[in-house]
């Protein structure tokens, strides 16, 4: 057999062996997620999930507290001066919306602590509800 034919035969054998190895290691097409992940035990999966979560814990996000909104004409906007009052659609005593990166996560009431404003959370949206809103 020529040298080129021997190299082609070896390459074909290597390719076939690699395909068999992949087929043995990967789940069958159309397998249910439970079948795919059944080899992971609960402790290992929990540790992996915690490691994944640890990777994102230091990412900064924008937290906003929204008192209310209004639409205003540019003419009125240009006339605003120190001491002007702008009427918002929120009512006095109504819970304020707490948003993270523009997504509502909670509502609360304004508090003053050591001459600084803050918000006391009165209603926090469940994690499952937040995820459902993200999927929209």
Q: What residue has token string 């006095």?
A: 92
What does the chain look like in DSSP terms, one character per residue? Answer: --HHHHHHHHHHHHHHHHHHHHHHHSPPTT--HHHHTTTS-HHHHHHHHHHHHHHHTT----EEEE-------HHHHHT--TT-----SSPTTPPEEEEETTEEEEEEEEEEETTEEEEEEEEE--HHHHHHHHT-
The mean per-residue pLDDT over the stretch 17-28 comes to 64
pLDDT, residue 4, reads: 45
The mean per-residue pLDDT over the stretch 69-88 comes to 91
Point out the least confidently predicted range of 14-23, 38-47, 67-76, 89-98: 38-47
pLDDT, residue 10, reads: 47
What does 106-136 look like in DSSP terms, one character per residue? Answer: EEEEEEEETTEEEEEEEEE--HHHHHHHHT-
Q: What contacts 117, CB < 8 A, 6 or more positions away? A: 110, 111
CATH fold for domain 60-136: Surface presentation of antigens (SPOA) (2.30.330)
The mean per-residue pLDDT over the stretch 53-59 comes to 80
Residues of CATH 2.30.330.10 domain(s) within the chain? 60-136
């Amino acid at each position: 057999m020529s040298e080129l034919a021997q190299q082609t035969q070896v390459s074909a054998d290597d390719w076939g062996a690699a395909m068999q190895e992949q087929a043995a290691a990967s789940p069958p097409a159309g397998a249910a997620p439970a079948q795919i992940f059944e080899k992971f035990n609960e402790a290992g999966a929990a540790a992996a999930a915690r490691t994944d979560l640890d990777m994102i814990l230091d990412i900064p996000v924008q937290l906003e507290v929204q008192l209310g909104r209004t639409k205003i004409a540019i003419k009125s906007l240009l006339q605003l001066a120190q001491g002007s009052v702008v009427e918002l659609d929120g009512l006095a005593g109504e819970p304020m919306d707490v948003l993270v990166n523009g997504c509502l996560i909670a509502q609360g009431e304004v508090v003053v602590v050591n001459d600084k404003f803050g918000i006391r959370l009165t209603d926090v949206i469940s994690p499952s509800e937040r995820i459902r809103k993200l999927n929209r």
